[in-house]
Amino acid sequence: MKRKRHSPEQIVGKLREADAMLAGGATIAQVCQKLEIAEATFHRWREQYGGMKAQEAKRLKELEIQNARLKKLVADLALDNSMLKELAKGNF
Other beta carbons within 10 Å of 42: 18
| Helix ranges restricted to H, the chain | 8-23, 28-35, 39-49, 54-89
Instruction: State residue 52's pLDDT score.
Output: 79
In tens, the pLDDT along 33-91 reads: 999 999 999 999 999 888 778 788 888 889 999 999 999 999 999 999 999 998 888 86
Q: What's the rounded mean pLDDT across residues 1-21?
A: 85
pLDDT at 4: 78
Domain residue extents for the chain: 8-89
pLDDT of residue 7: 87
Which 8-state DSSP code applies to residue 26? -
Q: Rg (Cα) of the chain, in Å, rounded?
A: 21
What is the rounded distance in angstroms from the CA atom of residue 34 to the CA atom of residue 45?
16
Residue 63 identity (one-letter amino acid):
L
